Chain A
Amino acid sequence: MHRRLAVLSRVLLLAAPNRGAWIAGTAAGSAAKILENMEIGHNVLHGQWDWMNDPQIHSTTWDWDTASTSEAWKHSHNYVHHTYTNIRGKDKDLGYEIMRIDPDQKWHPVYLGQPIYNLLLMAFFEWGVALHDLDLDAIRKGEKPMDEVRHELKGIAGKAKSQVVKDYIAWPAVSAAANVAGSLAISAVTGKLKKKQRSKAIADAAEAGRKAFKSTATANFTSNIVRNFWSNAIIFCGHFPDQTYVFSQEEVVDESRGAWYVRQLAGAANIDGNPMFHIASGNLSFQVEHHLFPDMPSSRYAEIAPRVKDVCERYGLPYNTGPFFQQWSMVQKTILRLAFPGGEHKPKPGPYVPEKA
């Protein structure tokens, strides 16, 4: 499906100078990139589909169309984030080391700028995540060997290069070539390639090509930004809404296996939505289920959700969820508020109570 959308987008963008085609092509391209990153990339790299034994769709061989190398991602996300979820100072995804999203994080004047970092991070999320994978904190403290850092930077540079070449050079060039050829063909048919008008026809063709190159490149750029916004929104809604709990390192000393599950449960929040929405979010709208069973195939989360709720109800545990815009605006409010010193804990929901039928 992702590959078909990608092909559709590339074909539509051949006609990118046309406004309608530009919009349709950009939409298809954004949708393809979102599917590729969220439902496919993230979940394959979790090993959710390793059971198929397919050599290509396997967490050890998969690579995705984003700035993080799959190797670095598997460490920072699968290991660090999923093990130390929502523990201050341990889970680097908590504010991505540049933002304060929990009142217990110490305030510092740099956080005054966080509404701006936040906007930048939304637009360029993939790059933010890639840099964040480097673990800047560890580098600053000199805990990370330099050759490892160099190796990872090289990986990011490689990924950056292939994205730039593909989205901003190769495909725009194809669009340009197609438009030049098209324009010349029309001229030939209408007889404009005859002596007098030849130079004008060639100039027209070159102009058509230039336009096509530019509009295809901007369409691809837009697709990347749209994808970044979307993945940023979904991921922030997974852990930073008001309902989620954040833990201190002292709280989790000698944590038992059971307590680990409770932390996963309380530290994550779902997003309500229809099946289309769930797929577009890579089923991260089932963040709670995903954190309990990160390597379960994502398509199963919807099936186990009732059982998770049942456990929550029986043992008086919270089951965090809410509609997308509510969750998203809560997160944005928190980010704005906590740019300034202080801030209070938001009231947490109590134990899960099933909705009355």
Chain B
Amino acid sequence: MAERGAQPNVPQYRRRALKAVESFFSPLLPDDYLELINPLWSTQELRGRIERIHPEADGAVTVVIKPGYKWGGHQAGQYLRIGVVVDGIHHWRAYSLTSDADRPDGCITITPKLVDSGKVSPWLTGSAKPGDIVRLGGVEGTFTLPDRVPPRLLFITAGSGITPIMSMIRSIDRSRAYCDIVHIHSARDADRVIFGEELRRLAADRTWLDLHIQETSKAGRIAPPHLDNLCPDWQERQTLHPAREMLDDPAHWEAEGLAGQLVVERFQPVIGGNAGEGTGGTITFKKSKVTAEAEAGTPILVAGEEAGIEMPFGCRMGICHTCVGQLCSGQLRDLRTGEIHGAEGEMVRTCVNAPEGPVEIKL
């Protein structure tokens, strides 16, 4: 089954009214007809309309999207699965939300950067136009600004890694939280800083934001030892660092005994970091009536596919919940965390879980 958007926040009375007239439209739903008038009215999945698209530096664009129903909110730093139709095919990608959750116009924004070899980013940066409809999936991610904003923060970003941080800065600016931020951002040169103008303006207007832009074409890349210079009190700050290309080195913090103060984001789950860990086991797919062996570190999804079952899947990285199946018995190992879990009847994501001993799953 293909991935679909999130459950929208539809008012109860509206759901009831649609339910009441369902039998008029069987086997379709009233929604299937209402969609002909306005696709945003779907109560089956949350959709949004592109309101505006404005270019940012370095081949990025900010897409302003008005969700069909009241936005369910997100934490600054989280990402959104978004579905677009390109050449008749529905594609899903995750993008960091660059807006804060409380925009008065109820809109959200994402800021994708053009990836030439991609499918979705060329569409968003080139072909999309105001009025186009997109599908909005789940909001996820643990790389977020803590509810109680730490008083002293250090943001270290580079390139398009700035996107989740931008949401945090906007959120802090709107809520007027008391804090003190040093933001170190790297880009090839000053013209290529995504959100450059807004950041510079904020840094000039707001006493709480101290911005340093590292032009890597002139000054070279930032390495951990530079921190002492750029932010002398870095040891006393909570550091948020969307780990991409720069300081992917928690050791610098660990060496100072400060591991707890560093928050990094990884988009790709680290699957198989300890590939040999775990026992693997026999999986019984109850609906398909197939039994398969999975070695340690092999997700249920992969084991099922290798056994010839048509398994549902979406992102294959634990985000979209398209692949879920009901666990009937047995224990699983979460391949991202190594955690062992498994309650009877639990809905589990087959793409990031491996069996730990014999398991039965309703798929």
> Which A residues are closer than 8 A to B by beta carbons?
3-4, 6-7, 50-56, 58, 60-61, 63-65, 159, 162-163, 165-166, 170-171, 174
Interface residues of B in 5-37 (CB under 8 A from A): 23-28, 32-33, 36
When the two chains form their complex, are residues A52 and B24 in contact, meaning their CB atoms are under 8 A apart? no
- Provided the pairs A4-B36, A7-B33 are in contact, do residues A51 and B26 lie with their beta carbons within 8 angstroms? no
Interchain residue pairs with CB less than 8 A apart (12): A3-B36, A54-B85, A54-B90, A55-B1, A55-B45, A55-B90, A56-B44, A58-B1, A60-B1, A61-B1, A65-B26, A166-B26
Give complex CA distance A55, B89 in Å.
Answer: 11
Complex contacts, B25 vs chain A, CB 8 Å? 166
- Provided the pairs A7-B33, A52-B88 are in contact, do residues A166 and B23 lie with their beta carbons within 8 angstroms? yes
Give complex CA distance A63, B314 in Å.
Answer: 22
> Which B residues are closer than 8 A to A by beta carbons?
1-4, 23-28, 32-33, 36, 44-45, 85, 88-91, 312
When the two chains form their complex, are residues A65 and B27 in contact, meaning their CB atoms are under 8 A apart? yes
When the two chains form their complex, are residues B90 and A53 in contact, meaning their CB atoms are under 8 A apart? yes
The total of Cβ contacts below 8 Å across the A-B interface reads 56
Give complex CA distance A165, B85 in Å.
Answer: 36
When the two chains form their complex, are residues B2 and A63 in contact, meaning their CB atoms are under 8 A apart? no
How far, in Å, is B11 (CB) from chain A's closest CB? 23
Complex contacts, A58 vs chain B, CB 8 Å? 1-2
Give complex CA distance A4, B2 in Å.
Answer: 25
Give complex CA distance A163, B44 in Å.
Answer: 22
The A contact surface, by secondary structure, is helix
- Provided the pairs A3-B33, A3-B36 are in contact, do residues A53 and B26 lie with their beta carbons within 8 angstroms? no
How far, in Å, is A190 (CB) from chain B's closest CB? 32
Name the contact of B27 in the complex, choosing from A4, A63, A170 (C-beta under 8 A): A63
How far, in Å, is B120 (CB) from chain A's closest CB? 12
Name the contact of A165 in the complex, choosing from B2, B26, B44 (C-beta under 8 A): B26
Pick the 3 closest A-B CB pairs, nearest first: A55-B4, A162-B26, A63-B27
When the two chains form their complex, are residues B27 and A162 in contact, meaning their CB atoms are under 8 A apart? yes
When the two chains form their complex, are residues A165 and B23 in contact, meaning their CB atoms are under 8 A apart? yes
Complex contacts, A55 vs chain B, CB 8 Å? 1-4, 45, 90
CB nearest neighbor in B for A51: B89
When the two chains form their complex, are residues B23 and A170 in contact, meaning their CB atoms are under 8 A apart? yes
Complex contacts, B33 vs chain A, CB 8 Å? 3, 6-7
CB nearest neighbor in B for A170: B24
Complex contacts, A65 vs chain B, CB 8 Å? 26-28
Give complex CA distance A110, B23 in Å.
Answer: 40
CB nearest neighbor in B for A61: B1
Give complex CA distance A10, B44 in Å.
Answer: 24
CB nearest neighbor in A for B35: A3
How far, in Å, is B68 (CB) from chain A's closest CB? 16
- Provided the pairs A3-B28, A3-B36, A7-B33 are in contact, do residues A53 and B23 lie with their beta carbons within 8 angstroms? no
When the two chains form their complex, are residues A162 and B23 in contact, meaning their CB atoms are under 8 A apart? yes
Complex contacts, B85 vs chain A, CB 8 Å? 52, 54
When the two chains form their complex, are residues A52 and B89 in contact, meaning their CB atoms are under 8 A apart? yes
15 extra interface residue pairs, beta carbon distance < 8 Å, beyond A3-B33, A52-B89 = A3-B36, A4-B36, A50-B2, A53-B3, A53-B89, A55-B1, A55-B45, A56-B32, A56-B44, A58-B2, A64-B27, A165-B26, A166-B23, A166-B25, A174-B24
Give complex CA distance A30, B112 in Å.
Answer: 47
How far, in Å, is B315 (CB) from chain A's closest CB? 12
CB nearest neighbor in A for B36: A3
Complex contacts, B4 vs chain A, CB 8 Å? 55-56
